[in-house]
Structure 1
Amino acid sequence: MLEKVEDVETIVAVPEAVVPEIKMVFCQVEIDLAFVSLELDIVPRGVDIMQTAILRNLDDASTKSLNGVRVAAYLFDLVPNIDTFRTVLRCIKLWSKVRGIYSNVLGFFGGINMAILVARVCQLYPNAAPSTLLQKFFTVWDIWKWPSPVLLAPIVDEGLGLKIWDPRKNPIDKRDLMPIITPTYPCQNSTYNVTVSTLHIMKQEFAHSAKVCGEIVKGDKEWPALFEKADFFSLHKNYLQIKVTAAGAEELKKWSGFVFSRLRKLIEQIEDSTGGTLHVHPCTEEFQDPALDAGTHYLYYMALKKAPKHLVRNKLAGRSFDINAAVDIFRRILYNFREHTPTMDCIVLHLKQKDLPAFLLEKEKKDEDEKKEEKAEGPEKAEGPGEKTKEEEGEG
């Protein structure tokens, strides 16, 4: 039915994801449409999703799906000023997208965990204006001692037998690197996808943006500097190219959606097979080579680089950067796709920067040139997101 709606485009079903969903673009807005199967014969109008009883007898996927909606609704009860919260969250979403760290599937931020981080800063500084909260967002999370959990409310067990995040009882929860805990029952870690590599990248971005905010406060930079697009293809020496191919557009939608949902597995396999010696920086964008048929392929990229010494888990492992075994395991995972056909393929290549497709570097250079032109034109002084209040920065 959705495919027949006039304003819907690029619709892709991802049934194999942890939270099954339909990805689509509606009226030029990207939407992830999740589902839940309730234990009800008929779903009544105005059903109260905040009632704990609605979670009874749900499977894990349905619980996670419904939890996202419940958290989004509950957040408004936990922040001191809803309008301020919304303003800062919009800024942080834009920031994460231009900095290339907005993709929960790849181990970066998603909408829910980002909202929780913003809400926590709003709780810490209840009287602050949006511009100040934006600065505080980066300073707070820059110095945060991960894996200390981020909590908006106490963790409560409502007694339905659903698993809640509790590292004291669940050994697997002790492995979480960046626990950002949802405030509604069952409380869960919304950043279970984060890997050693992606955590390191996000921490670098917090530090970078905290520094930029400091320069903005001093008057050395303007607010647009905080939202400058991060370079990717000009920063690293080694890359992986993951080329996803299929016989036609419809087959490609299914296959590419599944492959993208499993790219994190490749990151984890590379980290494990090299003892943490190699870090993987995934690009959140997908590409198509203009010289090839658009309906038969997608390209994904990951940068490879040596990990900082203090993050290497096994000093003896990883002396060789042979990742062939990791790639083989990843491909075996892909070919277990229940709708896989002989015409669906995934080719993983190691490329030096100089061997990257020309259109990638040309696109990045064009973006950089446009950025330089904007600076040369000398834009008018940009205002921050919100005016200061008299009691700004007062802590609750």
Structure 2
Amino acid sequence: MMELLYGPTKPLEVPPAKPRDLAESRRLCEAMTTVVADRVREAIDLIELTAHRLVDQITAEPEERWVRAYPFGSCGLGASVADSDLDMYGESFSNPSLIPSLILTRSTPHFPSLVKLPPLSPSLFLFIFYLSVFEQLEKKKICFSFLFFFYIPCRSFSIENARTVLNSFFLHTVHSVCISKCRVFSGSVLFCSFKVTAEVFFREFPPLLQSVVGNVVLVPARVPVVKFSYSGTSVDVVFVSAALSAPPTTEQLLDDSFLLQVSRDTRHSVNGLRTVLELKRRLPVAYDVFTTVLKSVKLWAMRRKVYGNLYCYPSGVVLAIMVARICQVMPASHPNVLLRFFFLFYTQWLSRHDRISPVYITTSLESRGRIPGLPDSWDPRRDACRDDLLPVINPAYPYVNDARNVGRCSLEVFYAELTYAYRLLSNLETPLETIWEPYHILDDYSTFFVVHVTCEEENEEKLEAVLSVWSSYVLSKLRILLYALERLVDARPYPQKLNDGPPRSVPKSGRFLKGSCFIVGIKEKVGRRFPQKNLFFRGV
């Protein structure tokens, strides 16, 4: 196995298939075909129809009126498992009345002035507080904000309250997330001619879409995303403006020179689709074998709560690259063989004590020059790249590390879950379904950091939209808090937003209040030195 630690090499010899492999693979394929109801085509048709309405308002030239939407990410790979958009569609608490009165009974006038964050509502609150079932820690509970620093007395918060809240947070959420109820995540990249600029698109497209589907959220970021829900499907739309007279073909998209025909301010948006195409063309196994293994791995990561880029865990594209790599190393035709090999391979790969070698599926990582508007390719000789804890390199040029957000504690948790699954599957008689047993964070942690996000509005419809934008912003910055926490304690982020129930009326104000929480399990760090370098400084 040691020669596999240094990039793509000659594939291993695939062991002869055993009678058990056929039956186990068939059972695995049947299980994976039931995890998602595919409505991707309907969402793409809706996106294209709405985009045509926008283009018709801008230009009358036939060669400039084309639009084309392509699926990317999990749906582009045919490997959707559950709702990856944990920020927009969280599960509700089973009993909101169990949330402490500190959270539910406040009103705006009793709080210090907040630093306003345009264009968000001023009635936005962010709290971080401790929840602990240890009586000796009762007097140490403090509420404070990590974006807006202010202090609030922690009243009416007993040990019984803490224990009740923890169970309310977790027990309902863990048991309610099952395969049969998972929502589908659909990512789409929309191409238009250069006549439709990014500024025009993000100003005009969301209102047109909102008239059809209702609530639409625009998340400003390096890659701006339009989010909406359609027939139980969470849909993300990114935009690309290209100087072409017709929609791009697969051959054009795979050509690196195509990036120069894309407007500079939308170049970041195109590589999600190029990644899907690169993965598909570099697979030495049947595509349905790859998607079955990828779905199985994603389901394992979601059930064991080690999935989600915003929570500093590996993302879906990281797992896809890792699965594609083991398909190259062991090009077996039975999914069960590849699934067991996945945990064996990466348990050994991540066991290195000095530095984890990069995982990549291209023939080399040689840089071919910088493309304006895009980051430099990953190079282990650069200081910024040398500090990456888990280098998993995207196959679409420029080669960047898609796992650069993974922190120390998150990597340790991910590795622990990998080794646990490997120990289970090392016994060939162990059913594959064993690795999908849900993880219960209360079994391992009794003390938690809780980031509670709330907002107040005059009507419930506006409240939902503002809370979605506000919580999206907080979630996008959550990793900075996690990088800081891991310098002090062992932390395990819970990769799911927890809602505190339906909107509630604020007494004597005529306004409505609603909130959601992000949870981090924490333990005392024992016998470890503080790291000299930390991702916290880069995050800041």
Deviation at 1:213?
A: 1.2
For each residue in 1:52-87, what CA deviation from the matched residue of structure 2 results, as whole angstroms up to 9, or x when unmatched? 122228688744432221111111111112221111
Distance 2:379 2:442 in 1: 40
Q: 1:35 to 1:282 in 2, by over 3 A?
A: farther
**Paired residue type of 1:167:** P
- Cα distance change, pair 270–182 in 1 and its aligned pair in 2 (3 A): same
Q: Alpha carbons of 1:244 and 1:176: their partners in 2 closer, same or farther (altered >3 Å)?
A: same
1:52 to 256, 266, 270: 256
In structure 2, runs of 5+ residues without a counterpart are 1-207, 457-462, 505-511
Query: SS at the partner of 2:495?
Result: coil
SS at match of 2:313: coil
Counterpart CA distance in 2 for 1:186 and 1:209 is: 33
> Does residue 287 of structure 1 match 2:498?
yes
Deviations 1:127-177 (A, max 9, x none): 241001001111111111352110111113233445110121x21111100
Point out the structure with max Rg over C-alpha.
Answer: 2
Q: Which residue of 1 aligns with 2:519?
A: 301
The answer to whether structure 1 residue 258 and structure 2 residue 473 are counterparts is yes
- Is 1:12 the equivalent of 2:224? no
User: How many residue pairs align between the two structures?
Assistant: 306
Counterpart in the other structure of 2:531: 313
Check the 8 A contact 1:98/1:229 in 2, yes or no: yes
Tell whether 2:384 aligns with 1:149: no
Do 1:11 and 1:24's aligned partners in 2 also have CA atoms closer than 8 Å?
Answer: yes
Judge conservation of contact 1:147–1:176 (CA < 8 Å) in 2. no
Q: How does 1:1-396 map to 2 (within 5 A)?
A: 1-6=208-213, 11-16=216-221, 18-38=222-242, 40=243, 44-47=246-249, 48-56=252-260, 62-81=266-285, 82-144=287-349, 145=352, 146-153=355-362, 154-161=364-371, 163-168=376-381, 170-215=382-427, 217=428, 219=429, 221-247=430-456, 248-271=463-486, 276-290=487-501, 293=504, 296-307=514-525, 309=527, 312-313=530-531
Kindly state the Cα deviation for residue 312 of structure 1 after the two structures are TM-superposed.
Answer: 4.0
Q: What SS does the aligned partner of 1:176 have?
A: coil
Specify the SS of the correspondent of 1:296. Answer: strand
- For 1:79, what is the secondary structure of its paired residue? coil
1:32 partner letter: D
Between the aligned residues of both structures, percent identity stands at: 27
Q: Distance in 1 between matches of 2:482 and 2:215?
A: 26
8 Å contact from structure 2 (residues 501, 514) kept in 1: no
- Counterpart code for 2:377: I
Q: CA deviation at 1:257?
A: 1.0
Q: Tell me, in whole angstroms, the C-alpha distance in 2 between the residues paired with 1:207 and 1:97.
A: 16
Give the conservation status (yes or no) of the 8 Å contact 1:148–1:179: yes
How far apart are the structure 1 equivalents of 2:485 and 2:245? 45
Deviation at 1:235, TM superposition (A): 2.2
2:496 aligns to what SS in structure 1? coil
Alpha-carbon distance between aligned partners in 2 of 1:250 and 1:70, rounded to the nearest angstrom: 32
Query: How many Å separate the matches in 1 of 2:521 and 2:464?
Result: 28
Deviations 1:197-233 (A, max 9, x none): 1111110111111112123x1x2x4222111111113
Structure 1 residues not aligned, in runs of 5+: 315-325, 334-396
Could you say if the C-alpha distance between residues 63 and 142 of structure 1 is closer, same or farther in structure 2, counting changes exceeding 3 Å? farther
Cα deviation, 1:104-129, whole Å, max 9, x if unaligned, reads: 11111212111000000000111241
Asked if the contact 2:410–2:492 (Cα under 8 Å) also holds between the matched residues in 1, the reply is yes
Cα RMSD (Å) of the superposition? Answer: 2.8
Letter in 2 for 1:77: R
Tell me the SS of whatever aligns to 1:165: coil
Instruction: State the SS of the aligned residue for 2:314.
Output: coil
Q: Secondary structure at the match of 1:5?
A: helix
Contact 1:23 1:30 in 2 (8 A): yes
Scaled by the length of structure 2, the TM-score of the pair is 0.52
C-alpha distance after superposition, 1:227-278 (max 9, x if no partner): 111111342021011111112222111111111111111101223xxxx341
8 Å CA contact 2:409–2:491 kept in 1: the answer is yes
CA distance in 2 between counterparts of 1:280 and 1:142 reads 21
> What is the deviation of 1:195?
0.7
